[in-house]
Amino acid sequence: MNYIDGLREDVSRLPNGMVFNARIKFMERICQALLNNELPKYHFPQLQLSEDEIKSYMRGNINLDEIEFQEMSAYLEEFDHDLGDFRTYLQTRFGYWATITQDFVAEIKNNFPDQSFLELMAGNGYLSKGLRDLGVKTYCTDDSSWAQHDQTGNLKVTDVESLDALAALDKYGSKVDNVILAWSPDREDIDLKVLEKVRKLDVNFLLIGEKNGATDSHEFWQEAELIEDDKIKRINEKYSRYDLVHDQLYLVK
């Protein structure tokens, strides 16, 4: 049983579980897009149940007897828990780490018009694919060192040149307007080495990650200077923060 089928099984055990079908259909469309080597169209809404949703659903089933109500509560908790596994499922099944959607990438192009990009550590190339689909000149690079751990690098959606981050900067750093890096691992210091190298170039450094959280090294966040910029704010309005991970786009100096 795949992940989406598991969610349907969850709601089939809930009285009036069809009220959650729209949420599951949205998640299914995301998975289908990725299966088709496409980006999801729209940034994601909050997927786990809010406190108000839980209260409203339980009030709607207040007429159940005590045993049925306890059973319903347990099934609802299980469903909510499984909704919370969506990010992990996307990462392991598709190598889809940063939440790259068509509307998010379009906003990058709108705010950095007629500019070129170098993506470092691109994985399957979701971000570069989105930019290239919009006609943006983009160099997409990754040495596929994560391909042995999960589907990162194994399900490429665009051409990815086999270069590690530092070699990619040596080759293309002087040829682009922007260097972009999404979801650098939190236990490796490559991001700090990238930062030191980017600072010697005349480029914007754009980074998608969670400050002092799920991405990038502690040393990086200590050293990085995060720049307030209206363009970045506009782009982040189209970036999905749909669970407990609060990643976003940063302009870094």
Per-residue pLDDT for 127 more than 80?
Answer: yes
Half-sphere exposure of 7 (CA within 13 A, CB side): 23
Query: Which residues, including other chains, have CB under 8 Å from residue 151's CB and lie 6 or more apart?
Result: 92, 93, 94, 95, 124
Per-residue pLDDT for 95 more than 80?
Answer: yes
pTM (two decimals): 0.93
| The pLDDT value given to residue 146 | 66
Contact 174, 112 (CB under 8 A): no
| The pLDDT value given to residue 115 | 98
CATH 3.40.50.150 fits 102-252, yes or no: yes
Q: What is the mean pLDDT of residues 243-251?
A: 96
Distance from CA of residue 188 to its chain's centroid?
19
Which of the four pLDDT bands, split at 50, 70 and 90, describes residue 154? confident
| The pLDDT value given to residue 150 | 60
Q: Where exactly does CATH 3.40.50.150 map onto the chain?
A: 102-252
Contact 139, 117 (CB under 8 A): yes
| The pLDDT value given to residue 149 | 57
- Concatenated DSSP letters for 107-133? HHHHHSTT--EEEES-TT-HHHHHHHH
Residues 203-218 have pLDDT tens digits of: 999 999 999 999 999 9
Q: What is the mean pLDDT of residues 114-121?
A: 98
Residues 166-196 have pLDDT tens digits of: 999 999 999 999 999 999 999 899 999 999 9
Dist. CA 137–CA 128, nearest whole Å: 9
Which of the four pLDDT bands, split at 50, 70 and 90, describes residue 91? very high
Dist. CA 164–CA 44, nearest whole Å: 30
Q: Which of 36-50, 85-99, 150-164, 168-182 is the least confident region?
A: 150-164
The dihedral formed by the CA atoms of 117, 150, 214 and 162, expressed in degrees to the nearest 10: -30
